[in-house]
Structure 1
């Protein structure tokens, strides 16, 4: 009795007889984590490291460019404010040489100008650090699959920018005086966070928060945190 061999042109089937999907991914997504806080990178690896493959990490823009080009990840988790040029500079340099790399911004900042700058730079999505592990995994998977992903509040900024409601080309000379970290502290203080809460959110000491607040008040010529909050609200930074 002759055993009939399967026709190589016939798709394989699963046990229920359904054709198997071609190109079904079996390996975990390869991810690079870029953030200037060691504790935050460690936290991300702890939360999602068993569900994706963390193939590299970096704490500044030049290091991020090197590790991304060396590892060719599926998705890069990218902070906005980084030493050495920031997230926008990472996007620019990587996409010049490897335009297919997909970026998902992951930042404490939800300011309109930060969201728009990274999306215009080529990021596929933008989520804040309040996201939980399951939501982050879903966002990574969607970005890897070609979707655009935003936290609900941030999606409105993108729509407003492309409809012309936000003048993203305008430059605030006063805001430009502040360093990226001072801007982060400013936004949190303006939302009513205590110095201790700001320190916990940004993974810095309370003393460092106090130093940044003093510097912000001096640069903006403000007297107290109440004036600071009003200043930030007037510029839609909160």
Structure 2
């Protein structure tokens, strides 16, 4: 029975240089029986050394580490294990940091100050296929898109979205939660999740941030309509 439970556990690697924050994250993870902390490290070097032989299902990392950037840890982790889910937890919410993390492969970006219970809830949602993003960060991403600095414009292949998928895309860009989307559209949360899954499939993405940037790159996110709605 114990062996079966161990196989079903979700292995989490923490990379955070602040000892108090690291301990808080470790304690929060210990409250969720499905999560198993495999290592809690404090630098890029420690993480790189651990990843040379270790493997995790989820990576929870800061960006600003004493000997480099957590973005390098993300890249190394995903090179060795492309299926790993990556959550960034940091003090920085500037557009450049958000963009860099998303481009490196992070599926979720939350700010320090988020409670341990909320972080664990987000980890479980991320592992289940969702990808919540902090409303503060969502507004930063949206501001970046509105400034017209989000990169290449359109690509030739542009998938056709249904009206409902376009609505969902707008709400994702606005930073709404699944519950808020369900209330806005007068549908169930499970219906919202189905539309999000279909949207991700059409865009070939795995997270909210990727969906917003890819949709904007393909010309699917109409910023004038988004401004009017938001």
> Per the shorter chain, which TM-score range?
0.5 to 0.7
- Match of residue 35 from structure 1: 16
- Match of residue 145 from structure 1: 128
1:157-196 to 2 correspondence within 5 Å? 157-161=140-144, 165-166=148-149
User: 1:71-116 CA deviation, whole Å, 9 max, x = no partner?
Assistant: 3212111101113321111122222332222110011222222122
3-state secondary structure, aligned to 2:123: helix
3-state secondary structure, aligned to 2:65: coil
Distance change >3 Å, CA 168–CA 56, structure 1 → 2? farther
Is the contact made by 1:45 and 1:54 (CA closer than 8 Å) also made in structure 2?
A: yes
- Match of residue 36 from structure 2: 53
Do structure 1's residue 133 and structure 2's residue 109 form an aligned pair? no
- Match of residue 10 from structure 1: none
- Match of residue 64 from structure 1: 47
- Match of residue 227 from structure 2: none
**TM-score of the pair, normalised by structure 2:** 0.56
Is the contact made by 2:63 and 2:69 (CA closer than 8 Å) also made in structure 1?
A: yes
Give the number of the structure whose residues are more often helix, by fraction.
Answer: 2
**TM-score of the pair, normalised by structure 1:** 0.54
User: Relative contact order (C-alpha < 8 Å, sep 6+): which is higher?
Assistant: 2
CA distance in 2, matches of 1:69, 1:161: 36
- Match of residue 65 from structure 2: 82
User: 1:169-202 CA deviation, whole Å, 9 max, x = no partner?
Assistant: 9xxxxxxxxxxxxxxxxxxxxxxxxxxxxxxxxx
CA distance in 1, matches of 2:114, 2:145: 25
Is the contact made by 2:60 and 2:88 (CA closer than 8 Å) also made in structure 1?
A: yes
CA distance in 2, matches of 1:49, 1:68: 22
User: 1:33-74 CA deviation, whole Å, 9 max, x = no partner?
Assistant: 111112211121123323121111211112113324533212
CA root-mean-square deviation: 2.7
Distance change >3 Å, CA 151–CA 69, structure 1 → 2? farther
Structure 1: give runs of 5+ residues left out of the alignment: 1-23, 170-238
Q: 1:123 aligns with which of 100, 106, 122?
A: 106
- Distance apart, 1:161 and its partner CA: 3.9
Is the contact made by 2:24 and 2:116 (CA closer than 8 Å) also made in structure 1?
A: no
Distance change >3 Å, CA 86–CA 73, structure 1 → 2? same
Q: 2:85 aligns with which of 82, 102, 110?
A: 102
- Match of residue 74 from structure 2: 91
